[in-house]
Amino acid sequence: MNSIAHQEKIKSCVWFTETHEEISISSVVKYAIQGGLPDSAFVNTTAYSLKLDEVISIISKEMETLKSLTSLPDSFLLKETYATESNVEIALSCLLKIIEVIQFNSNEVIKGLSEQIEETSLLKSISSYASSIDQSYKRHNLTHLQLRNYSVQGLNDKGIIIEFEGEGDFELNPLFEEPENDIELLQIDHTIIFSGRAETLEDEPFNFSYYKVTDLYTEYVG
């Protein structure tokens, strides 16, 4: 279970309240499903197909079976006395069940969160980020940006990771030096497609009105 998330990331989550040194399976499962998002984020949603305690109960049962057959928590290797074909199948079945339950409920959460992304706010953040790049180069301008697709791709200990793609206009100024004798600079217009990633703000991980763009890639299409 430790492969799902680093313990320090779990401990940094706002919902983590455990005081003992060893992190419980409940917290590991909770992080795998909802990341660092607070419990309040899901009060008015139907993101979970099962209640979290039911999910944990299912996984705990599978973990107990694994512990009886393997050397958990040290490894998934079968104990020598239980190394039979039948027990190998049981152990693999337990692992697959754990992965299936976590992935299904995590995908349900991500699907629910994707529906709450505010397109206008996300596009505004992208435009602002693109403008900051334009100002640094002083030779082109990205305008009329439009989103084609966007969705939540993952959760971390601080908030929500969003991936997006879209298109816009690219105005290239080949004469990017200061103009002389009031001669207007030549503008060449092209179309570009763009893609990138954004995150919700660390101090407001469930606020869909503000985003921080972390990556933006553009491609000239003519």
Residue 1 belongs to a domain = no
Say yes or no: 99 and 126 in one domain.
no
Residue 2 belongs to a domain = no
Say yes or no: 130 and 107 in one domain.
no
pLDDT tens for the chain, residues 1 to 222: 555 557 888 888 888 888 887 888 888 888 888 888 777 766 555 556 567 788 888 888 888 887 777 665 555 555 555 556 777 788 888 889 988 988 888 888 888 788 888 889 999 898 888 777 655 444 556 678 899 999 988 887 767 889 999 998 876 655 445 555 444 444 456 788 889 999 887 677 667 778 889 898 888 776
Task: Please give the model's pTM, rounded to 2 decimal places.
Answer: 0.66
One-letter amino acid for residue 107 of the chain:
N
Output b/e per residue, 148-177; b: 16+ Cβ within 10 A: eebebeebbbbbbbbebebbbebeeeeeee
- Domain residues for the domain of 153 are 119-220
Say yes or no: 71 and 156 in one domain.
no
Residue 150 belongs to a domain = yes
- The CATH number of whichever domain residue 132 belongs to comes to 3.10.450
